[in-house]
């Protein structure tokens, strides 16, 4: 194959890969009630640390972020959580990853074999930003509304 042909092929593949990565995170988060019902676990937790775990193929930005958390209260999935553990997210936001800081959050998680995963589709909410009504509904109403 000629150099021009090789360059054309590389360009075509890189455009296709970029499009795939850009489109890989498309979701409709839905209402607060829907996020609650669609999550395997819902908890109030404080982020106490973070660590980047590189991808298996060692491509920068394609790994995971492991957040160490201290669980304060579990609203859904009580039997699936420990008091101190980790939650994971993809390193890149284009792969639905989300960044957390050392603060308290309401976390909506999906349980996978590697652990609890969070994403932009069910983005964690700062606990202090939740209204009193939503906090009340977390305790008394949301679980009842899930089919």
Q: How confident is the model over 3-23, as a mean pLDDT?
A: 41
Least Cα distance to 122 among 76, 68, 58, 61 occurs for: 76
SS3 content of the chain, % helix, strand, coil (to 5): 35, 30, 30
Mean pLDDT, the chain, whole residue set: 80
- What fold, for 29-145? OB fold (Dihydrolipoamide Acetyltransferase, E2P) (2.40.50)
Q: What is the pTM of this model?
A: 0.76
Domains of the chain by residue range: 29-145
Q: Find the helix or strand (DSSP H, E) in which 16 lies.
A: helix 3-23
What pLDDT was estimated at residue 67?
96
Lowest-confidence range among 4-13, 21-30, 109-118? 4-13
Q: Specify whether the CB–CB gap between 120 and 66 falls below 8 A.
A: no
Which comes out higher in pLDDT, residue 58 or 110? 110
pLDDT tens, residue by residue, 36-45: 888 999 999 9
């Amino acid at each position: 194959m000629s150099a021009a042909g090789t360059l054309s092929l590389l360009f075509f593949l890189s455009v296709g890969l970029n499009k795939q990565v850009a489109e890989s995170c498309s979701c409709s988060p839905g209402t607060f009630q829907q996020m609650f019902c669609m999550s395997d676990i819902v908890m109030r937790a404080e982020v106490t640390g973070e660590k980047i775990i590189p991808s298996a193929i060692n491509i920068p930005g394609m790994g995971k972020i492991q957040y160490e958390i201290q669980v304060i209260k579990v609203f859904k999935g009580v039997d699936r959580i420990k008091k101190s553990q980790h939650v994971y997210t993809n390193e890149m936001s284009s792969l639905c990853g989300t960044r957390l800081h050392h603060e308290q959050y309401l976390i909506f998680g999906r349980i996978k074999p590697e652990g609890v995963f969070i994403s932009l589709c069910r983005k964690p909410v700062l606990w202090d930003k939740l209204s009193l009504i939503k906090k009340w509904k977390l305790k008394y109403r949301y679980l009842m509304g899930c089919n």
